[in-house]
Amino acid sequence: MAQDAAWHEIINPQNEIIDRVGELAFRHCTVPSQQTDRKVQCAWLDVPENHARATGKTIPIFVVRLPARRHVKNIEDPVVLLAGGPGQSAAEAFLFVDSQWPRLAKHRDLYLIDQRGTGRSNPMNCEAVFSELNFDPHDPDYARLQRATIQCLQQLEADPAQYTTVNWVQDLERVRAALGVERWNVYGVSYGTRVATHYMRQHAGSIRSVVLDSPVYPEHVIGSEIAYRSDQAFYALLQACENDRLCSERMPDTTTVISRFIEALRHKPIHAAVEDFSTGHTEQSALIDSQVLR
């Protein structure tokens, strides 16, 4: 098994195996989140970094299991949750999903699997490089950003060409097979829906059901289109309100009101209490400025 210093912070190989599912041995581990760390069941599965070279370098895929709360011998087929981004850690993004979906978690195991290159699945991090860059998104220096990106690529102990949606789908299928799961239910959100659609195309027989939450269709360009399409949707909503008699009576001239609010934030940002959807806890120090609404 591939193990490094960061890995030992999460899973201590000396910890007692508490459960086995198929070929995977699960141990107690603690997964950190922004608000509250949580003790869960964790395992990892080594997969080829390049699936075309089965005997080459391997990388660890991090698997979190939230066991069904009802302890019965024959639980229903499990759910695997695919995070967005790309770049989110599923283990962190969905760490408390069993408390949000108690009926689902009662009879089914929930699996949170970090995509290769994210979270604890051989993460490709360049935090030191970009912290030294001190990049200001409000006044970007793209030449410096390009140099930092090149420096980041040069120091990675990974082949970025292998960290693709196609390879991630193959990783998922290997995890399913290793767990001994005949079919599972797939829940994807945002970019995770793109992964789910590729998975359906390649391994339809491995899937019982699919939920596509906030779909990102294959033809959409992730990143460059988000701001533009979000802006379109936002102002279409304002226009719909103005065209609706009841809405316009209760919230008259919403476009002007919002525009003035954005302008005010440009001169004086505010702090507001914002709920962290993953934990339900309130973050008191969230900064809101004009960029948030742009």
Q: Which residue has the tokens 């948030």?
A: 292
Q: Is the pLDDT of residue 272 over 90?
A: no
Q: Which residue has the tokens 């066991």?
A: 67
Q: Which helix (H) or strand (E) holds 65?
A: strand 58-66
24 plus 137 within the same structural domain: no
Residue 288 DSSP code:
E
Q: Is the pLDDT of residue 159 over 70?
A: yes
Mean model confidence pLDDT for the chain: 83
Q: Which residues pair with 25 in a beta bridge?
A: 20
Q: Is the pLDDT of residue 109 over 90?
A: yes
68 plus 206 within the same structural domain: yes
Cα–Cα distance measured from residue 108 to residue 23, given in angstroms and rounded to the nearest whole number: 19
Q: How many structural domains compose the chain?
A: 3
Instruction: Quote the pLDDT of residue 280.
Output: 57
Q: In which band, very low, low, confident or very high, does the pLDDT at 271 lie, cut at 50, 70 and 90?
A: confident
Residue 54 DSSP code:
T
Cα–Cα distance measured from residue 47 to residue 59, given in angstroms and rounded to the nearest whole number: 6
Q: What is the mean pLDDT of residues 193-216?
A: 95
206 plus 147 within the same structural domain: no
Q: In which band, very low, low, confident or very high, does the pLDDT at 282 lie, cut at 50, 70 and 90?
A: low
Q: Which stretch of 69-78, 112-121, 156-165, 197-206 has the lowest confidence by average pLDDT?
A: 69-78
Which stretches of 156-209 are DSSP H helices?
Answer: 165-179, 191-202
Q: Is the pLDDT of residue 286 over 90?
A: no
More confident residue, 229 or 150: 150
118 plus 132 within the same structural domain: no
Q: Is the pLDDT of residue 80 over 80?
A: yes
76 plus 180 within the same structural domain: yes
Assigned domain for 142 exists: yes
Q: In which band, very low, low, confident or very high, does the pLDDT at 8 lie, cut at 50, 70 and 90?
A: very low
Q: In which band, very low, low, confident or very high, does the pLDDT at 32 lie, cut at 50, 70 and 90?
A: confident
Angle CA(94)–CA(100)–CA(101) in degrees, nearest 5? 100
Domain of residue 242, residue span: 226-293
Check the CA dihedral 196-201-203-204 and report its sign: positive
Instruction: Quote the pLDDT of residue 122.
Output: 92
Q: What is the mean pLDDT of residues 232-242?
A: 89
Structure tokens at 244: 């609706």
* Whole-number Cα distances in Å, 121 to 5, 7, 79, 158, 161: 13, 9, 19, 12, 16
Assigned domain for 218 exists: no
Cα–Cα distance measured from residue 195 to residue 146, given in angstroms and rounded to the nearest whole number: 28
Which residues make Cβ contacts (< 8 Å) with residue 115, sequence separation at least 6? 82, 83, 85, 86, 90, 121, 168, 171, 195
Q: Is the pLDDT of residue 161 over 90?
A: yes
78 plus 165 within the same structural domain: yes
185 plus 258 within the same structural domain: no
Assigned domain for 257 exists: yes
Q: Is the pLDDT of residue 118 over 80?
A: yes
15 plus 99 within the same structural domain: yes
Which residues make Cβ contacts (< 8 Å) with residue 232, sequence separation at least 6? none
Q: Which residue has the tokens 């695997």?
A: 80
180 plus 37 within the same structural domain: yes
Q: Which stretch of 148-157, 201-210, 259-268 has the lowest confidence by average pLDDT?
A: 259-268
Q: In which band, very low, low, confident or very high, does the pLDDT at 279 lie, cut at 50, 70 and 90?
A: low
86 plus 199 within the same structural domain: yes
Instruction: Quote the pLDDT of residue 4.
Output: 40
Closest CA to 283 of 291, 275, 271, 294: 275
Q: In which band, very low, low, confident or very high, does the pLDDT at 6 lie, cut at 50, 70 and 90?
A: very low
29 touches 272 (CB < 8 A): no
Residue 259, amino acid: S
86 touches 222 (CB < 8 A): yes
Q: What are phi and psi of 44, to 5 degrees?
A: -145, 155
168 plus 147 within the same structural domain: no
63 plus 208 within the same structural domain: yes
Assigned domain for 283 exists: yes
Q: Which helix (H) or strand (E) holds 146?
A: helix 142-155
